[in-house]
Structure 1
Amino acid sequence: MTETPTTEISNDPVHAFIGQTIAEHPVVLFMKGTPDTPRCGFSGLVVQVLDHMSVPFIGVDVLQDEALRDGIKAFSDWPTIPQLYVKGEFIGGADIVKEMFQSGELQALMNEKGVAGEA
C-alpha cells in the first residue's frame, strides 16, 4: 500500500504563506527590512543587484514576524537571510546572488525564467 506523502507546509500556516507568496510572485526576496529600507547589508546587496538588473521583485520583511524569520529558514533548509526565489526556485543568499551576478549566471537565469529586466 502506498501512502500519500504529506508535507509540513499544509499543516504550518507560516510555510503555507511562504509557499503561496513564492507561487504568486515571479521573484521574491525574503529579507531584513524592505526594498526601500533594507535593515542589513546582505539584504541591501541583493536589493541593489536586482535593482541594477531592473528585475521586478517583492520584498518580504522577515523582521516583522519571528515565526516567519524562523519559518523561511526551515522552508528552504538555508540558515541565513536574505533568500531569493525565482519562479518558485530557491536561488540562495547574498553571497550566491553576488557570485551569480558577477559571473553573468544570474542574468542568464532571469532570462531563462522570463523575468529579466530592461538592463
Structure 2
Amino acid sequence: MFLGKSILQTVVKPSTRSLLFAKSTINPLSKRFLSDATRKSIEDAISSAPVVLFMKGTPEFPQCGFSRATIQMLGQQGVDPAKFAAYNVLEDPELRTGIKEFSDWPTIPQLYVNKDFVGGCDIIMSMGQSGELAQLLEESGALVPEEDEETGSTEKK
C-alpha cells in the first residue's frame, strides 16, 4: 500500500493543479456579472450589420496582428463596407470583457455573421482557406455586388 503523495500532488502545486483541470478560461461565476446594459449593447451591436467584428483598433488602424489578419481576410473575401460594422474593444473595457463572456470565447477579434458567432482569427483564417468563409458571406448577402461587364449593372454575389 502506497501512503505517500501521488505523483501529481508532488509535481504540481495545488494552485497550478486547479488550472490544469479547469473547463474554461472564463470563470462560470463571472457570467453572472455581465450587466443587462452591457448584454443589450452587445446584442444591439451584433444586430447593427450583417457582418460585425469586435477587434482591437479600427479597420483602418488595427492594433494587433490578429485583428489585422481578420480585416485583411474579410477584405479579400469582398465584404461590402455598407454591410459591415467594427467595434474597437480597446475604447471600452466593459465591452472588451463583456464580449468574451457573451460569446464564451476568450480571445479578440470575434466575428459575427447574421447575429451568429463565427469565431476568432484562427477560425476565420481556416474558413478563408477552405472556402467556407466565402460561402457563408455569400449566403448572408454581405459581399460587394459584382458588376456585370456587359450591361454595367450590379448583381449581388
Q: TM-score, normalised by structure 1?
A: 0.87
**Which residue number in structure 2 is paired with residue 104 of structure 1?**
131
Q: Give the letter for the 2:106 counterpart.
A: P
User: Structure with the greater relative contact order (CA < 8 A, sep ≥ 6): 1 or 2?
Assistant: 1
Q: Give the letter for the 2:63 counterpart.
A: R
Structure number with larger C-alpha Rg: 2
Q: Give the letter for the 2:108 counterpart.
A: I
Tell me if 1:76 matches 2:103: yes
Q: TM-score, normalised by structure 2?
A: 0.67
**Which residue number in structure 1 is paired with residue 6 of structure 2?**
none
- How far apart are the structure 2 equivalents of 1:96 and 1:118? 25
- Name segments (4+ residues, structure 1) moved above 3 Å: none
Q: CA RMSD in A?
A: 1.6
Query: Aligned to 2:46, what secondary structure does the other structure show?
Result: helix
Tell me if 1:35 matches 2:93: no
**Which residue number in structure 1 is paired with residue 46 of structure 2?**
22
Aligned residues: 111
- How far apart are the structure 2 equivalents of 1:33 and 1:25? 18
Unaligned runs of 5+ in 2: 1-31, 147-157
Query: Aligned to 2:47, what secondary structure does the other structure show?
Result: helix
**Which residue number in structure 2 is paired with residue 64 of structure 1?**
91
Kindly, what percent of the aligned residue pairs are identical? Answer: 52
Contact preservation (8 Å) 1:30, 1:61: yes
Q: CA deviation at 1:97?
A: 0.2
Farther-moved stretch of structure 1 (53-62 vs 42-51):
53-62
